[in-house]
Structure 1
Amino acid sequence: MNTSTSTTVSTPVIIPIDTPTLGDRSYLAHDGQVAVVIDPQRDIDRVLALASDAGVRITDVFETHIHNDYVTGGLALAQATGARYHVNAADDVAYERSPISDDDVVEVSPTMRVRAIATPGHTFTHLSYALEAAPGDGEAFEPVGVFTGGSLLFGATGRPDLLGHDHTHDLVHHQFASAHRLAEELPEHTHVLPTHGFGSFCSTGSTGDTTASTIGDEKRQNPALTRDQERWVADTLAGLDAYPAYYAHMAPANEAGPSAPDLTAPQTVDKVTLAAHIAAGEWVVDLRTRTAFAAGHVTGTLNFGLDGQFATYLGWLIPWGTPLTLLGDSAEQVADAQRELVRIGIDHLEGAATGTPDQWTDNPLGSFERAVFADLAQVRHHRPVTVLDVRRASEFDDGHIDGAVNIPLHELLSRIGDVPAGEVWVHCAGGYRASIAASVLAARGIPIVAVDDSFGENAASSGMPITAAA
């Protein structure tokens, strides 16, 4: 897709801006001269670079809702570009915005406009935005795509429980009605452009590996549009699971009006300072791969590798406000982590160090073994070991190793005392969460083996006895 032209195009160019570690998408849509942005992440330099590359001017920024899983860059982007900032008129925010309500139309250019559609369900004030285009000046507008935020996703919908249990019943019914409103009002060729559903815990139900969809596709495959309301509501409520603890801090930050982040490199810390941070109970996080961490690390550090959902799980586990120091292979790795962290409102770092573990401490390095499920099957024939499953309870209930202890990763810090004494083999679905858990346990002197393997593909085939879902 060519985004470098500055000539007006009859069909808007829509550019997704992916944030894989949070499972989200933002969007920039333009007609060759002017652009709109929907649900921008905090690090707005990505958006500004795309607009510059396309040779377009951002005139309007839209929020589908007050986000619960990240700190928005909407206000900062509007201030940086002079764009109008469209936030639902019913949202109680602490900053000036261009209030927008159901059926309001924003004329972006003679051939491009945006219409607001009330789609409550993920929140009470959620809006979707239909992007409408006209082939030429004065010709009829037709929907091209609809930015659905946390409403209609690919084969799923946004979860209805993030505002608290007291509101879930009302919101889940709103969500069903909103999905049907979109399906009934928009042509089948309309592209569905959600913010959530790419690994975000803001979605309910599986979105699979789908990367694009239309209203017509959703009519045929989305349970919200193929099942009756009673069954869909029951299935949706039964499928709700835990979500990251840091979500509690996102809506207040977004209502207050977050500023642009400061991505200045953190102060470099030395061995003595790192040791002091660890001794004080602060978090020192090693960003390297789980393979590298297991082979050798500074004792007391925690492993949240950048090769997984780094910000999601660090934000989920860290006691909010705990001082944080980063360790990485390179300054670029630390900078990437810093960018991830400001997206969830962790703006301050105590410091950082780069290089190798032997450069970070004068003490002997810690290490632990890595294994696969076949190794675990063999070991259990020879000696008793604890199998610790750190997947979520719903994953455990779907099938688990006989005799395994289930302590979901997000509960591990508060349930260390529940980990049985002796040798512990820890696993998850694929290895990433197991390494986090192993680092937490190793920091407390617990003998640990991290199973770095696919549970779904290899646990049963390796001879592990599995208790399947009833």
Structure 2
Amino acid sequence: MDVISFRTDGLGDQSHLLVHEGRAILVDPQRDIDRFLSAAEERDLELRFVLETHLHNDYLSGAEQAALRTGAELVLPAASAAAYRHTPAYHLEDIEAGDGLTIRPIHTPGHTPEHTSYLVLVDGAPVAVFSGGSLLVTSVGRPDLLGPERARSLARLQHGSLRRLAALPREVGLFPTHGEGSFCTTTGAGRHTSTIGDELDGNPMIGIGEADEFADRLLAAPLPIPAFYRHMGPANTLGVPPMPPVTAPELAPDDLPPDVQVVDIRPRAAQAAGMLPGSLGIELDTDFGSWAGWLVPYGSPIALVAEPGQDTAEAITQLARIGFDSVRGIIHDLGDSATQRFDLVDLPGFLTRLAQPASRLLDVRMPSEREEVRVDGAIERFLPDLVTEGLPDGLDKDRPVLVACATGRRATVAATVLAREGYQPVALNGAGIAEVADALHTHDTP
């Protein structure tokens, strides 16, 4: 038996393909299923089952489409109530996969109410467990994604689910779906796979003995929830259509429909030099789709601004994973329309600007990050809140707004939000609030 894991860094997730005796089982596939099916085809594998551990909150599932394409049997938690044909997985009711391979569903509620893990046995011996969003590597799945009114009861259930999984043999391999970089985890998860024994030795959540103490720990400092998450569960319940094409026609700035949201994916230096008025800048990287889903109204038609040769198919794929299927076109030539600008500076240049009497510092990090280090006098507002709550008081369109985060990525995005509202943003590039605070402290120390 072998397990092939497919990492999607921008979402902090992984899908898994279990291989055994010429057959395969696909677990928690994302919507772009060709990469999974191609891997099975290259190895001449028969895809026998597609398993879903839960109705995902962070991406659209490709499970139904993978089953339809291959004839595999689709298995979902019995309590999922999905509106399409599937085999319900009931707690401890074994599913025989042939050649000594058995799938044993284990009800592990907490991350979601219906959540089910799948223990894999070979010739009766447990060898691996697919734990979805329950037991993670050095962490545990969040219980608050369905709303605060359900968070505590789900947290208590998560406590019992962890103890249930922790009772498996130490040598059983652990293959979670969520991992480092996912907003479905309660803490920064470490490695992507593990064993039950390693988690017993190193996962701090397993050692919490009481359910209420466990819930208190999980809910003490909740992380923000990306805006697009609330659309994923309902879509995964009703059924997800196949992936849209990952190509789009060429557009000119004058051809833009009036309702389209322009998203500039070019490198940040190109954005700073000039963007289309009203556009949002999110430099293309592995987390591009997540930030677009958080900052662009869900379902909005999008036009991309890209440099020649940029991987626009990757950008469209990331958008489609979370349900943004209306990419109307791609603009490569901005002509003389690139009139929206901002300044992009390094740390010394930022500190020089900050020393000017009229400067205002805007910190766009998460609240939990601010607890670690702050700069006195900074205006604080998390990047997505600039869009949902509006720009904070205290900013002046006639004076520069100096924007910083932890590394420069979010500061750059925030600068484009400010620029389209008519402000004069200056984004710190290649450094963050910690370096600013350190420099200011050093300067003030005799």
TM-score range, shorter chain: over 0.9
What's 2:29 paired with? 40
Partners of 1:456 and 1:222 lie apart in 2 by 30
Residues 61, 111 of structure 1: CA spacing in aligned structure 2 closer, same or farther, 3 A cutoff? same
Residues 419, 62 of structure 1: CA spacing in aligned structure 2 closer, same or farther, 3 A cutoff? farther
Pairwise mapping of residues 48-197 of structure 1 onto structure 2 (< 5 A)? 48-134=37-123, 141-184=124-167, 186-197=168-179
Q: What amino acid sits opposite 1:431 in the alignment?
A: G
What's 2:196 paired with? 215
What's 2:181 paired with? 199
Partners of 2:362 and 2:434 lie apart in 1 by 18
Pairwise CA RMSD: 1.9
Q: Tell me by how many angstroms 1:387 deviates.
A: 0.7
Residues 343, 364 of structure 1: CA spacing in aligned structure 2 closer, same or farther, 3 A cutoff? closer
Q: What amino acid sits opposite 1:235 in the alignment?
A: R
Of the three residues 323, 333, 336, the one matched with 2:301 is 323
Where does structure 2 lack aligned partners over 5 or more consecutive residues?
none
Where does structure 1 lack aligned partners over 5 or more consecutive residues?
1-11, 135-140
Aligned residue for 2:97, secondary structure, equals strand
Partners of 1:352 and 1:44 lie apart in 2 by 24
Q: Tell me by how many angstroms 1:173 deviates.
A: 0.6
Q: Tell me by how many angstroms 1:305 deviates.
A: 1.4
Q: What amino acid sits opposite 1:221 in the alignment?
A: G
Q: Determine if contact 2:354/2:402 at 8 Å carries over to the other structure.
A: no
Of the three residues 441, 447, 452, the one matched with 2:418 is 441
Partners of 2:442 and 2:214 lie apart in 1 by 34
Q: Tell me by how many angstroms 1:93 deviates.
A: 1.5
| Worse-superposed segment, 151-160 or 107-116 | 107-116
What's 2:207 paired with? 226
Q: What amino acid sits opposite 1:162 in the alignment?
A: L
Q: What amino acid sits opposite 1:107 in the alignment?
A: E
Aligned residue for 1:251, secondary structure, equals helix
Partners of 1:463 and 1:281 lie apart in 2 by 44
Partners of 1:25 and 1:261 lie apart in 2 by 18
Q: Tell me by how many angstroms 1:224 deviates.
A: 1.8
Aligned residue for 2:57, secondary structure, equals coil
Question: TM-score scaled by structure 1?
Answer: 0.89
Q: Tell me by how many angstroms 1:320 deviates.
A: 1.7
Asked if residue 282 in structure 1 is aligned to residue 260 in structure 2, the reply is: yes
Asked if residue 312 in structure 1 is aligned to residue 290 in structure 2, the reply is: yes
Q: What amino acid sits opposite 2:417 in the alignment?
A: V
What's 1:273 paired with? 255
Partners of 2:215 and 2:336 lie apart in 1 by 58
Residues 407, 254 of structure 1: CA spacing in aligned structure 2 closer, same or farther, 3 A cutoff? same
Partners of 1:258 and 1:465 lie apart in 2 by 54
Q: What amino acid sits opposite 2:82 in the alignment?
A: V
Asked if residue 29 in structure 1 is aligned to residue 18 in structure 2, the reply is: yes
Partners of 2:97 and 2:298 lie apart in 1 by 40
Q: Tell me by how many angstroms 1:242 deviates.
A: 1.0
Residues 33, 339 of structure 1: CA spacing in aligned structure 2 closer, same or farther, 3 A cutoff? same
Aligned residue for 1:104, secondary structure, equals coil
1:284-330 deviations in Å (ceiling 9; x for gaps): 11112223322333333211112241111110111123221112124
Partners of 1:197 and 1:43 lie apart in 2 by 19
Aligned residue for 1:224, secondary structure, equals coil
Partners of 2:403 and 2:430 lie apart in 1 by 11
Residues 375, 235 of structure 1: CA spacing in aligned structure 2 closer, same or farther, 3 A cutoff? farther
Q: Determine if contact 1:61/1:85 at 8 Å carries over to the other structure.
A: yes
Q: Determine if contact 1:289/1:307 at 8 Å carries over to the other structure.
A: no
Show structure 1 runs of 4+ deviating over 4 A.
none
Residues 364, 350 of structure 1: CA spacing in aligned structure 2 closer, same or farther, 3 A cutoff? closer
Partners of 2:408 and 2:180 lie apart in 1 by 20
Q: What amino acid sits opposite 2:432 in the alignment?
A: F
Asked if residue 363 in structure 1 is aligned to residue 337 in structure 2, the reply is: yes
Residues 212, 165 of structure 1: CA spacing in aligned structure 2 closer, same or farther, 3 A cutoff? same
Partners of 1:458 and 1:284 lie apart in 2 by 32
Residues 34, 372 of structure 1: CA spacing in aligned structure 2 closer, same or farther, 3 A cutoff? same
Residues 433, 380 of structure 1: CA spacing in aligned structure 2 closer, same or farther, 3 A cutoff? closer
Aligned residue for 1:203, secondary structure, equals coil
Aligned residue for 1:440, secondary structure, equals helix
Q: Determine if contact 2:110/2:154 at 8 Å carries over to the other structure.
A: yes
User: Percent identity over the alignment?
Assistant: 36
Partners of 1:287 and 1:464 lie apart in 2 by 36
Of the three residues 409, 412, 416, the one matched with 2:391 is 416
Partners of 1:93 and 1:299 lie apart in 2 by 43
Q: Tell me by how many angstroms 1:417 deviates.
A: 5.2
Q: Tell me by how many angstroms 1:376 deviates.
A: 2.9
Q: What amino acid sits opposite 1:233 in the alignment?
A: A
Q: Tell me by how many angstroms 1:455 deviates.
A: 2.8
Partners of 2:441 and 2:286 lie apart in 1 by 26
Aligned residue for 2:224, secondary structure, equals coil
Q: Tell me by how many angstroms 1:263 deviates.
A: 1.6
Pairwise mapping of residues 259-270 of structure 1 onto structure 2 (< 5 A)? 259-270=241-252
Pairwise mapping of residues 450-461 of structure 1 onto structure 2 (< 5 A)? 450-455=427-432, 458-461=435-438
1:92-120 deviations in Å (ceiling 9; x for gaps): 12111011111122222213221111100
Aligned residue for 1:321, secondary structure, equals coil
Q: What amino acid sits opposite 1:267 in the alignment?
A: P
What's 2:328 paired with? 350
Q: What amino acid sits opposite 1:215 in the alignment?
A: I
Question: TM-score scaled by structure 2?
Answer: 0.94
Partners of 2:348 and 2:307 lie apart in 1 by 31
Q: Tell me by how many angstroms 1:379 deviates.
A: 2.9
1:221-248 deviations in Å (ceiling 9; x for gaps): 2122123334332121112121101111
Partners of 1:76 and 1:113 lie apart in 2 by 24
Residues 30, 462 of structure 1: CA spacing in aligned structure 2 closer, same or farther, 3 A cutoff? same
Aligned residues: 439
Partners of 1:116 and 1:465 lie apart in 2 by 57
Residues 402, 447 of structure 1: CA spacing in aligned structure 2 closer, same or farther, 3 A cutoff? same
What's 1:400 paired with? 374
Partners of 1:310 and 1:394 lie apart in 2 by 22
Residues 54, 95 of structure 1: CA spacing in aligned structure 2 closer, same or farther, 3 A cutoff? same
